[in-house]
């Protein structure tokens, strides 16, 4: 049995005491040996956390003990080691950066549990729409899904015309853990799509509960694994190595931090290129040492972990300004 867990979760539930709650949450993770990335916003929580199984179990119980987050749905995967190198608990304006003018607590697409989603895949009137970034669906996606060449969810309004002809279809949106679809499906509803659904819990939950059938490739994840297996029924590799063109579902972040492209690169080319995606990146003076994984943690701009442990001499407003990097 693998000794570590990787947790993926989100919940839209109002948080008023942002700084106080961020500090408490940060300290709890440190005290219980948990690493990962957690976003705290006025609209709720979004987290990916990793640690020993028993510590993750305690964490899930602790989060749910707060009435605001009692309904949170954790996706739990097993892993051989801890999936992060650092801990970030940050205050942000949104738990997923979208800038879409919607509120998923007011209106969102109908949630489909994995079993319901699997059954609807056989409906000829259904169209799957991938709401993830281009580098994510490059390494794995559902068979026949519509994908957009977008870097992030903020760009969705620029691509909505690509599916305008599908307004009479049953649209099912999906993403890694479900969080993007809460706002993306709401945005589709606001733009004339009447039959909009979303895969509750995303690709990860579908893999855990229904075996991931018809999801081809691997699922990109935002931790040290970079990708994770989903399909245990009819798996298939769909991506090719950026360097040599052979089939490969091994993702790498380019070792040149000024590039940092997310690309499939096979193990052989990864070693030969020292984790870089091109000769120019390989010779770049800022190239990071390649450790064989192609995973690099970047310090978010404006984030200062020590803020969580300062004596409270400053106002909450000052704390938030520092955290968000406003004015820098």
pTM comes to: 0.87
Mean of the per-residue pLDDT values of the chain: 91
Low-confidence ranges of the chain (pLDDT < 70): 297-328
- Residue (of 113, 40, 110) closest to 73 by Cα position: 113
Q: What is the pLDDT of residues 11-49, one digit of tens each?
A: 999 999 999 999 999 999 999 999 999 999 999 999 999
What pLDDT was estimated at residue 291?
Answer: 84
Residue extents of the structural domains in the chain: 4-95+303-324, 110-219, 239-297
CATH of domain 110-219: 3.40.250.10
Query: What three-state secondary structure class fits 114?
Result: helix
Q: Assign domain 4-95+303-324 to its CATH architecture.
A: 2-Layer Sandwich (3.30)
Structure tokens at 163: 């599916």
Instruction: Establish whether 175 is a catalytic residue.
Output: yes
Residue 162 and residue 141 in contact, taking contact as beta carbons nearer than 8 Å: no
Same fold, 4-95+303-324 and 110-219: no
Q: Which of 29, 56, 175, 181 is catalytic?
A: 175
Residues ≥6 apart with Cβ < 8 Å to 161: none
> Are the beta carbons of 126 and 169 closer than 8 angstroms?
yes
- Between CA 265 and CA 165 the distance in angstroms is 36
- Calpha distance 231→248 (Å, rounded): 16
The string of pLDDT tens digits covering residues 198-255 is 999 999 999 999 999 999 999 999 998 999 999 999 999 999 999 999 999 999 999 9
């Amino acid at each position: 049995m693998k000794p570590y867990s990787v947790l993926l979760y989100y919940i839209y539930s109002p948080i008023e005491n942002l700084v106080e709650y961020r500090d408490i949450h940060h300290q709890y993770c440190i005290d219980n040996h948990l690493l990962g990335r957690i976003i705290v916003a006025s609209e709720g929580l979004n987290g990916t956390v990793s640690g020993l199984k028993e510590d993750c179990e305690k964490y899930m119980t602790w989060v749910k003990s707060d009435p605001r987050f009692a309904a949170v749905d954790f996706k739990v995967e097993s892993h051989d080691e801890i999936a992060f190198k650092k801990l970030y608990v940050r205050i942000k304006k949104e738990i997923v950066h979208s800038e879409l003018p919607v509120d998923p607590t007011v209106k969102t697409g109908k949630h489909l549990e994995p079993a319901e989603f699997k059954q609807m895949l056989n409906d000829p009137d259904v169209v799957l729409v991938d709401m993830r970034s281009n580098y994510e669906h490059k390494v794995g996606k559902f068979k026949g899904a519509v994908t957009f060449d977008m870097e992030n969810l903020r760009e969705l309004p620029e691509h909505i015309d690509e599916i305008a002809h599908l307004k009479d279809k049953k649209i099912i949106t999906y993403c890694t853990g479900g969080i993007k679809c809460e706002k993306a499906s709401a945005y589709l509803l606001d733009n004339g799509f009447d039959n909009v659904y979303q895969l509750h819990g995303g690709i990860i939950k579908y893999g855990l509960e229904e075996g991931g059938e018809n999801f081809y490739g691997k699922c990109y994840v935002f931790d040290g694994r970079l990708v994770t297996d989903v399909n245990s029924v009819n798996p298939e590799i769909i991506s090719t190595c950026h360097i040599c063109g052979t089939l490969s579902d091994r993702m790498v972040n380019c070792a040149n931090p000024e590039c940092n492209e997310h690309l499939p690169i096979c193990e052989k080319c990864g070693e030969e290129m020292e984790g870089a995606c091109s000769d120019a990146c390989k010779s770049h003076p800022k190239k990071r040492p390649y450790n064989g994984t192609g995973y690099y943690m970047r310090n978010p701009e404006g984030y200062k972990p020590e803020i969580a442990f300062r004596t409270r001499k400053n106002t909450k407003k000052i704390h938030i300004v520092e955290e968000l990097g406003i004015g820098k």
